[in-house]
């Protein structure tokens, strides 16, 4: 069984957690830190305090790619359509909560 949670509104910054439960234990990926829990204990590292320190490498790579696109006069890898789809997914999730029911992404009339 797998559970994925994500939040941009946690008081300590962004928060992303993926948990995978199996017959030998629990594998957790939380904010770039991987932990494994089994019958012998919890194995893994600590979480950085803030998202700028957690994702320093990600931000660096993003800026390098943006600069390379500008310098080489090529399109950025994220398109307007990507941003629009992200917005629509957010709208679907917001409506799902407001309406109190599950909305299938692929059956939603505005998607």
Question: In the prediction, which pLDDT does 78 show?
Answer: 87
Is residue 17 located within the same domain as residue 42? yes
Is residue 93 located within the same domain as residue 70? no
Question: In the prediction, which pLDDT does 9 show?
Answer: 67
Low-confidence stretches of the chain (pLDDT < 70) are 1-15, 31, 46-51, 108-111
| Alpha-carbon span 30 to 51, nearest angstrom | 12
| Alpha-carbon span 111 to 107, nearest angstrom | 8
Question: In the prediction, which pLDDT does 72 show?
Answer: 95
Report CA 110 to chain centroid distance, whole Å.
23
Beta-bridge partners for 22: 25
Q: pLDDT of 28-45, one tens digit each? A: 877 677 778 888 888 877
Is residue 65 located within the same domain as residue 83? no
Is residue 13 located within the same domain as residue 65? yes
Is residue 64 located within the same domain as residue 84? no
Is residue 33 located within the same domain as residue 54? yes
Is residue 60 located within the same domain as residue 12? yes
The number of folded domains in the chain is 2
Structural domain for 23, as ranges: 2-74
């Amino acid at each position: 069984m797998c559970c994925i949670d994500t939040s941009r509104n946690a008081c300590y910054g962004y928060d992303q957690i993926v948990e995978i439960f199996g017959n030998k234990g629990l594998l957790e990926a939380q904010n770039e830190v991987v932990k494994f829990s089994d019958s012998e204990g919890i194995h893994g590292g600590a979480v950085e305090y803030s998202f700028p320190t957690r994702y320093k490498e990600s931000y660096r790579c993003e800026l390098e790619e943006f600069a390379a696109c500008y310098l080489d006069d090529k399109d950025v890898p994220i398109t307007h359509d990507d941003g629009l789809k992200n917005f629509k997914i957010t709208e679907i999730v917001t409506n799902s909560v407001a309406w109190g029911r599950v909305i299938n992404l692929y059956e939603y009339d505005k998607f």
